[in-house]
Amino acid sequence: LAARRSEKQSFLLYALQSSQTRFACGKEVKKKKDLWGLRNRSPPVPPAVLLPAVGQITDEVMTNFQSVKESKVMTFVPAGNTSPVPTSVIKRGRKSKQLTKEEIEKKTKLAKKQLLAATSSLTVHMDNAW
């Protein structure tokens, strides 16, 4: 039983290490090295299969789809989809904005001004303390 368990552990560790694109080691995020997690926490997108707009779907059509696609999960999308909801996957995230030189200078001046204001108020408080 113990040999079987260690065999399973080594097989699982090998599978995790060989799939570095899918799994992240805890060591990468400054955690324990035996912690593993998914890099992308969303399930994979099922393949889209376009169905003809006209015609009957029979068992023969379905077996042809299953022989071509070896996936267990399929999404059936009609050919002329008129839905207002887009069928593509929307990536969420923060877009990086390219700043111009003027904007960078403006932000730098503002940061310097805030820093000077903070240090001057600190010196005033220090003078009042004595």
Q: Is the pLDDT of residue 123 over 60?
A: no
What is the per-residue pLDDT for 96? 61
Phi-psi category of residue 75: left, alpha or beta, with phi > 0 → left and psi -120 to 50 → alpha:
beta
Ordered by start, the domain boundaries in the chain are 1-41, 43-80
What is the per-residue pLDDT for 24? 86
- Residues 22-59: tens digit of each pLDDT: 888 888 878 888 888 888 777 777 666 666 566 777 77
What is the per-residue pLDDT for 102? 85
Instruction: Give the chain as a 3 state SS string.
Output: CHHHHHHHHHHHHHHHHHCCCCEEEHHHHCCCCCCEEECCCCCCCCCEEEECCCCCCCHHHHHHHHHHCCCCCCEEEECCCCCCCCCCCCCCCCCCCCCCHHHHHHHHHHHHHHHHHHHHHHHHHHHHHC
Closest CA to 48 of 22, 21, 69: 69
- Residues 44-100: tens digit of each pLDDT: 776 666 665 667 777 776 666 655 555 555 555 555 555 555 555 555 555 666 778
Closest CA to 77 of 47, 56, 33: 47
What is the per-residue pLDDT for 121? 60
Judge contact between 50 and 77, C-beta under 8 A.
yes
Strand partners, 23: 38
Q: Is the pLDDT of residue 103 over 80?
A: yes
